[in-house]
């Protein structure tokens, strides 16, 4: 099962190495890892996606929390969360395919960020499933290259859903 762990860590050199090293040393597999600063300059946020049974993920959580420079770890499992990936994807797109491609981009609520005679570069943000679906939809055209950020997530405070 997929778990999203959110770790607040000290914004100090060596912290990422501590975290990454722990994952390697304990043979935990991670799906993705996203790191960025927070509103507090002394802290960073790491969002880690781990696949494993509950025991393994519980160990991951505890081992993370044990690292001195990790301040707090949350497992979002069972919680109502908003999770997003960001992707930049460059797709082969000769002029005659453009209208079709632009319709696809619109359908996915994605954004064209660069365009040339033979390709189009698109920015897509959204839940992982949407990103995956967009990749599949693009495959027939030919994907030239693709980068993804890894998931970032946050627990919902309200109960109603504004958008999914």
Q: How far is the CB of 130 from other proteins (least distance, A)?
A: 34
Chain mean position to CA 34: 6
Kindly determine how many residues on this chain lie close enough to bind other proteins according to the rule CB under 8 A.
Answer: 22
The contact mask relative to other proteins for 72-111 (x = CB under 8 A, - = no) is x---------------------------------------
Of the candidates 16, 22, 115, 133, which one interacts with other proteins according to CB under 8 A?
Answer: 22
From residue 94, alpha-carbon distances to 5, 49, 50, 100 in Å are 41, 36, 39, 11
Of the candidates 2, 62, 139, 156, which one interacts with other proteins according to CB under 8 A?
Answer: 62
Contact status: 21 vs other proteins (CB under 8 A): yes
CA distance 52 to 2: 7
Q: Tokens at residue 39, please?
A: 């509103």
Summarize as ranges the residues that interact with other proteins (CB under 8 A): 9-10, 13-14, 17-18, 21-22, 25, 55, 58-59, 62-63, 65-72
């Amino acid at each position: 099962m997929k778990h999203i762990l959110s770790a607040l860590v000290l914004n100090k050199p060596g912290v990422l190495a501590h975290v990454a090293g722990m994952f390697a040393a304990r043979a935990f597999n991670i799906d993705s890892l996203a790191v960025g600063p927070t509103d507090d300059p002394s802290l960073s946020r790491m969002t880690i996606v781990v696949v494993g049974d509950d025991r393994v993920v519980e160990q991951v959580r505890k081992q993370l929390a044990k690292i001195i420079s990790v301040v707090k770890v949350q497992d979002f499992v069972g919680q109502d969360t908003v999770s997003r990936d960001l992707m930049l994807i460059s797709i082969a797109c000769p002029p005659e395919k453009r209208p079709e491609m632009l319709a696809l981009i619109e359908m996915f609520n994605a954004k064209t960020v660069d365009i040339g005679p033979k390709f189009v570069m698109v920015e897509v943000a959204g839940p992982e499933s949407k990103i995956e679906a967009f990749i599949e939809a693009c495959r027939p055209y030919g994907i030239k290259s693709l980068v993804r950020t890894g998931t970032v997530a946050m627990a919902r405070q309200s109960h109603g859903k504004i958008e999914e």
